[in-house]
Amino acid sequence: MNYWLMKSEPDVFSFDDLMRSPGRRTCWDGVRNYQARNLLRDAIQPGDGVLFYHSNANPSGVAGIARVVRGGYPDHTAFDPADPHYDPKSRPEAPTWYMVDIEAVEPLPRLLTLAEIKAAKGLEKMVLLTNSRLSVQPVTESEWRIVRRLAGLKP
């Protein structure tokens, strides 16, 4: 069982939007970065924990907890010319891009802001801080526990 952080702009798709989705689930589509793709395709497994992060927000921060319910499979939005994430290089016989499905578990009692994450002992090495551009990133078990505790969740 591993832990991940996934970013979404709340103006586009927030944790509340996930809570209101059918079955509280969604497919995590539209990732067009090779490092993130490799994680989606090869590493992220059903049952893994997800920190749902609001980027480009006021303030930005971790908004909720989700879990992976389906492992990597081809991102079909890349095949659709009408989709904003269309990529002609990706074909159904040889997909370039992958996605997973996630399910909301619970919102955090309060948003854990980026400023708090930066200030927290034990979170200095979070990929969020060291490679801020990566939209799907690994989280260590220790970081996972600290984030939950700081946000007021039981371990």
Residue 119 makes contact with DNA by CB under 7 A: no
CA distances from 100 to 112, 117, 138, 155 (A): 24, 26, 15, 25
32/70 with CB nearer DNA? 32
33/46 with CB nearer DNA? 33
For residue 120, give the nearest of 86, 145, 103 by alpha carbon.
145
Stretch that binds DNA, among 30-38, 66-74, 97-105, 141-149 (CB under 7 A): 30-38
Q: Smallest gap, in angstroms, from Cβ of residue 146 to DNA?
A: 18
Q: Smallest gap, in angstroms, from Cβ of residue 21 to DNA?
A: 20
Count of residues near DNA by CB under 7 A = 19
Kindly give, in sequence order, each residue whose CB lies less than 8 Å from that of residue 51, ignoring residues fewer than 6 positions away. Answer: 3, 4, 5, 6, 62, 65, 139, 144, 147
For residue 80, give the nearest of 90, 70, 67, 68 by alpha carbon.
90
What is the rounded distance in angstroms from the CA atom of residue 155 to the CA atom of residue 12? 30
Binds DNA by CB under 7 A, chosen from 33, 38, 96, 140: 33
Q: Smallest gap, in angstroms, from Cβ of residue 142 to DNA?
A: 21
Binds DNA by CB under 7 A, chosen from 62, 104, 108, 114: 114
Token duo for residue 89: 């290089």
Hey, how many other C-beta atoms are within 10 angstroms of the C-beta on 41?
Answer: 19
Binds DNA by CB under 7 A, chosen from 57, 105, 120, 153: 57
Name the residues that contact DNA, by CB under 7 A. 7, 9, 32-35, 55-57, 59-60, 114-115, 118, 131-135
